[in-house]
Amino acid sequence: MLNVGLKMENVILSVENLNVKLNGEAVLIDLSFDVDEGDVLAILGPNGAGKTTLLKALLGIIPYEGVIKWRKGIKIGYVPQRLPFIRDVPLSVKEFFHLENAPENEIKEILKSIGLEKEILKKKIGDLSSGQFQRILIGWALASDPHVLLFDEPLAGIDIGGQESVYNLLERLKEEKNLTILFVIHELSIVYRLANKVLCVNKRMLCSGVPKEKLTSEAISNLYAGQVKFYQHKHKGQESL
């Protein structure tokens, strides 16, 4: 049941006993967690753990059992892991934004917020660098003026320079727009840098809470079902991996 009547003061999303089956196979089992307004929640797990499925369930686009409660009136922006087919369509960036019915003045404001010049509107989607394309996808999600952004592996296919650019953008948007962000990620250093909460998933929930408290070497080994190299060091007043 997708419920939009949540009234708890700071909670923007509450998930209770979420179960998802695809083709008869259990993909998510009894997940329960809350997200507060302004949280940055990192969703960690190995391939096939159900992370993308979780985002789709939160969006209400796949069937599930359990309860998903969003605060009433919440608008959600979604940036999928990949949209390769879009890059093959002969659309300019401007035409791409027009698919979202975004007016000209709003498009320019969005470009400014994601650090791109208005000249990029003339470029074809297929001619953008991976970092530029990811920024455009983020901008497209922002066109609906959302309260919450969902990201499915926002670094997928992006070079190192583009990765840093995208995460700098997310940090800035979080502060400027007071966004609540949920993102699927594999890079543990980014979890420490951006997230105040972590959800470890491998079909079931394996850990949940503050990253520096929950991401122990044992927890990470259990999550990824094997030994991993793990160390912590202080960096600008916080721990990282």
User: pTM for the whole thing?
Assistant: 0.81
Q: Where does 2-74+147-240 sit in CATH, by number?
A: 3.40.50.300
Mean pLDDT rounded to a whole number for the chain: 84
HSE-up (13 A, CA, CB side) for residue 149: 26
What pLDDT does residue 226 have? 53
What pLDDT does residue 158 have? 63
What pLDDT does residue 155 have? 64
What residue has token string 């700071």? 10
Secondary structure of residue 4 in the 3-state scheme: strand
- The predicted-structure confidence for 157-193, as pLDDT tens digits, reads as follows 566 666 677 778 778 888 888 899 999 988 888 899 8
pLDDT tier at 57, thresholds 50, 70, 90:
very high
Q: In the predicted model, what is the mean pLDDT of residues 44-55?
A: 94
Q: Please give the helix or strand (H or E) that residue 173 lies within, else none.
A: helix 160-177
Phi, psi of 32 (to 5 degrees): -140, 130
Residues 42/211, Cβ–Cβ less than 8 Å: yes
Of residues 231 and 223, more confidence is placed in: 223
Of residues 217 and 55, more confidence is placed in: 55
What pLDDT does residue 10 have? 92
Would you say residue 206 has pLDDT above 70? yes
Residues 110/139, Cβ–Cβ less than 8 Å: yes
What pLDDT does residue 12 have? 97
Residues 36/12, Cβ–Cβ less than 8 Å: yes
What pLDDT does residue 234 have? 42
Q: Could you tell me which of 88, 98, 164 has the C-alpha nearest to residue 128? A: 88
DSSP 124: B
Angstrom distances, CA of residue 239 to CA of 75, 135, 157, 194, 198 = 33, 28, 27, 12, 15
Rounded Cα gap, residues 60 and 117, in angstroms: 34
Would you say residue 81 has pLDDT above 90? no
Rounded Cα gap, residues 41 and 174, in angstroms: 12
Q: In the predicted model, what is the mean pLDDT of residues 132-145?
A: 84
- The predicted-structure confidence for 98-125, as pLDDT tens digits, reads as follows 887 788 888 888 888 888 898 999 999 8
What pLDDT does residue 65 have? 97
Would you say residue 137 has pLDDT above 90? no
The full set of domain ranges for the chain reads: 2-74+147-240
What pLDDT does residue 236 have? 44
pLDDT tier at 238, thresholds 50, 70, 90:
very low
